[in-house]
Amino acid sequence: MGSVFFERRPLTGRDVLSWDIARHLYGRQLQGTVVILTDNPTGLHAALAKQWRRLGRAVQRERAATLDAVLIQELTRTLSRMQNLTFSTQSPFDELADVYILDKEHLNVVPRGTHTFYATEVMDDEQLKDIGEAVAYNGLVVTYR
Amino acid sequence: MAITITPTHIRTEELLTCVICGRERPLADLTAGLTDATGRQALACAGHTWDAHELITGWAKFAITQRQALAQAAAQMEYREDIGHGQRVF
């Protein structure tokens, strides 16, 4: 676990969870593949997609509110990236995506190139250690407890 | 909301700088985001995720400075290549 960051974030409900993941993911979207482990992939996928679109609209508002040409260019780039980010509830063996939302059944192996792993289910230290070893160098494991 | 474990090369006892507001904070108050131009993990105050304006413009401005740093480094390398008559100087 010596090469990976671990971060603990609070868990207070499904809506708040998708909101928090969307906000955190905003800063991590450039860093390779993202995996979210949850007991309800379909539900979280729908909620996260909604929060992601909402955040996209906030970026559009920020872009419209500034006269700084460099910032406008950067926010345009960000928006394009956000709109092209793909979410999937399928196993990495079945579908290529940027963000995988999986339950324990489908998470047989952490996909290669995973830089961010969100564990929304309670995992013991041994499981977290295994995840930490599977995540790329300088990657991040976020736990919700 | 906190970073609890870091790679071994990071000294956790020191205060670390938030790349968005520049304040020095303990590791417990920081969250991980983008990486900088050298590939190191950039950290920001966890509180910035609560405010959409700070989150969006903060990371965008950070990305702009890192992109400029990369462009400057690339230009310097090209300049060195010119001096070295086409030979790369590292």
pLDDT (tens digit per residue) in A43-70: 999 999 999 999 999 999 999 999 999 9
With cut-offs at 50, 70 and 90, classify the pLDDT of residue A1.
Answer: low
The residues that bridge with A37 in the sheet, in sequence order, are A102, A119
Residues sharing a CB contact under 8 Å with residue A99, sequence separation 6 or more, in sequence order: A25, A33, A34, A35, A36, A48, A85, A86, A87, A88
A2 membership: H or E segment, kind and range:
none
Residue B54, both tokens? 């700070």
Put simply, the answer to whether A58 touches B56 (Cβ < 8 Å) is: yes
Chain A positions touching B34 (Cβ under 8 A) are 27-28, 30-31
Q: Which of B9, B49, B51 to mutate to test the interface with A (most CBs of A within 10 A)?
A: B49
Q: Which chain A residues have a beta carbon less than 8 Å from that of B32?
A: 5, 7, 27-28, 140
* A83 has a pLDDT exceeding 90: yes
pLDDT at B56: 97
Most confident listed range (A68-72, A101-105, A129-133, B30-34): A68-72
Q: How far apart are CA B63 and CA A29, in angstroms?
A: 13
Cβ neighbours, 10 Å, residue A66: 13
Judged by a CB distance cut-off of 8 A, whether residue B2 touches chain A is yes
pLDDT at residue number A104: 86
**Global pTM value:** 0.87
Partner B contacted by A4 (CB < 8 A): yes
Topology of the domain covering A5-144: Rossmann fold (3.40.50)
* ipTM for the predicted complex: 0.87
Helix (H) or strand (E) holding B9: none
Of residues B3, B53, B61, nearest to A7 (C-beta):
B3
A34, A15, A10: which is closest to A141 by C-alpha? A34
* Domain-wise residue ranges, chain A: 5-144
Tens-place pLDDT, residues B14-66: 788 999 999 999 988 999 999 898 888 899 999 898 899 999 999 999 999 99
Tokens 């417990």 label which residue? B28
- A23/B55 CB distance under 8 A: yes
Strand partners, B48: none
Angle between helix A14-26 and A41-65 (nearest 10): 50
